[in-house]
Structure 1
């Protein structure tokens, strides 16, 4: 992380190098709040875009060598809403999130994020890492001090449900609490776009439910929240579901609309009908050099 003294990291970054400083700018430096706001009435009523457009992709494509991972993705993401991105392994979920966060440059198209806040984008990786002997409060205060904006650390900890363990050391936290601390770090500075990669992966059902409830609470404060997940029970409680398959958006709507369009009775069944076996691994599309 470019803004962090490497000696604070105990052999690793205080958090993943993709968690704070790198995500503070839009892809390609294109932070154009006026042009995004002008698109708010041209989104066709897409879920999550009714109030205000926070981020937009136009013809987004990402290619690694001869493998096309994302192809011509057009999205408008609105504030005050949770968008769940689901898809088989290798479908492009993490690539889409990293492109939205400004951590991965597109090979085609553009990503634009409204840049009104001190920190336009907040990012939480799947495995956030923090200095083990810092307390929860010390960890979040460290990140807060990197920002120009005034941050209420106690309020942020209460928002994610960590207020009662503010004095606990990081190495004494459960895996779920570490994920919540990662979310708390990501929301510092009131970013307009919050991007989270599999925040509930590997957790027990109660903690998964708590994390998705927390994301709804965070979205209620204003940002557009985009979360990649394999847990369809959590996605079913989102405002909007994007289903990716081989780098393309193959379904987009409220959970109820996606289920109805598939002609089934649950999001799990809709997912299986749309993309096949959830355990399948997709590897992008090979293209000519």
Structure 2
């Protein structure tokens, strides 16, 4: 998948500014501060956010009945009154997927017969991941899949994403959980103020910056790019960040269960 000179503006203010990237098979983690453009980028990859300029070239599913993109937005509006299995069965009829296998992949087999309204927020998040992966799409886009999950569920969510990311499947995940990036990601894209600060193979980037962890990579890349800790209230880039926060719901950090200095803070 190729992103070519992608710019997305809201009210004339750029949230993404001439972003060009290539996403190959495997798991790519998109990291950066709130308002850096992560959700806008993932929405553009999934096709829910049209570019203002530039383009996104996505993979096509060759098999009949196979969906080309699986997408987990930050908020998943599942309809109440149906069980977890019934919910996935509905989507499975559209893409020839196996709802029980999908539930098992995210550890929800025991909750299969629970109504949506009786599932915790974390369990609904896992159900959203299962829905995104139904039908084995060649591109899976997961926006903050670990948000609101306890440590065990976070690990399960990322392990499921990594397992799905085979030689012919591209999985793109946005996250603030840098320890899980270390454990599961093949590549990383770091955004700041709508621009790419660093991108590439995770091991190669850590070697390039002489660091051992993604958290240290983030700090080193930020220093090299001379990113300021604070920005002027009148800075257009900050206005663009606020625009994305308003649309993605990420402007309030109260739902972040893990705080990463320099990453979680705005």
Category of TM-score, reference length = shorter chain: 0.7 to 0.9
Deviations 1:207-240 (A, max 9, x none): 2111111111121384211011111111212011
Q: TM-score normalized by structure 1?
A: 0.72
Structure 1 stretches (4+) deviating beyond 6 angstroms?
276-283
Q: Secondary structure at the match of 1:244?
A: strand
Q: Does 1:89 align with 2:42?
A: no
2:129–2:157 Cα contact (<8 Å) kept? no
Residues of 1 paired with 2:193 and 2:212: CA distance? 25
Greater fraction helix: 2
Q: Does 1:108 align with 2:61?
A: no
Aligned counterpart for 1:150 among listed residues 75, 92, 96: 96
Aligned counterpart for 1:161 among listed residues 107, 116, 126: 107
Cα 1:152–1:280, aligned 2, differ >3 Å: closer, same or farther? farther
Residues of 2 paired with 1:64 and 1:73: CA distance? 16
Alignment length (residue pairs): 230
Q: TM-score normalized by structure 2?
A: 0.78
1:8-157 correspondence to structure 2 within 5 Å: 55-79=1-25, 81-117=26-62, 118-145=66-93, 147=94, 149-157=95-103
Cα 1:70–1:139, aligned 2, differ >3 Å: closer, same or farther? same
2:76–2:125 Cα contact (<8 Å) kept? yes
Residues of 2 paired with 1:201 and 1:141: CA distance? 25
In structure 1, the gaps of 5 or more residues are 1-54
Q: Does 1:266 align with 2:213?
A: yes
Deviations 1:134-165 (A, max 9, x none): 111001012223x1x42222222222222232
Q: Cα RMSD between the aligned structures?
A: 2.5
2:71–2:140 Cα contact (<8 Å) kept? yes
